[in-house]
Amino acid sequence: MTSKNNITDIKKLLKILSCDKQKIVIIDGYKVKNKEKYSLFLRKGLYCKCCLNKAIFAKIEKDDKCKSGFYHLVFYIMKGRKEIQLTIDHIIPRALNGDDEEENYQILCEECNRAKGDKIIVF
């Protein structure tokens, strides 16, 4: 974790990040690349479609596998005292030849996504 922001500020940042003209945004001193997933979160909502828990904060995190030096926003819900990441789920999983199109995406928390597995379920 590098930084923690409340969800109201994050929605403002998401609008900036999803603007086509802006390729990189500096947030708290960290370079965050513009990615399609941010505008997807804006359109689909910052909550798990299964358990209906809303994101309450986001963290600016670095992917250890990424060598570019860029960071990304990771959205979290709370279940009890646990921080659980929101993910982009494939309604029809890739394992079942699901495609990478927006109509095949839904927002789920990691727990609900894991429980769904490779089943075709629309929430």
pLDDT one-digit tens code per residue, 14-49: 776 666 566 777 777 777 776 777 888 888 989 999
Which band of pLDDT confidence, cut at 50, 70 and 90, is reported for residue 1? very low
- Write out the H or E segment, with its range, that includes residue 79: strand 72-79
CA 19 to chain CA centroid, Å, is 17
pLDDT one-digit tens code per residue, 73-95: 889 999 999 999 999 999 999 99
pTM of the prediction? Answer: 0.81
Coil, strand or helix: which one is 13?
helix
CB burial of 58-73 (b: ≥16 within 10 Å; e: otherwise) equals bbbbeeeeeeeeebbb
Q: What residues does each domain of the chain span?
A: 3-116
State the Cα–Cα distance between residues 4 and 20, nearest whole angstrom. Answer: 25
Q: Which residue has the tokens 């359109």?
A: 43
Q: For position 6, what pLDDT does the model report?
A: 67
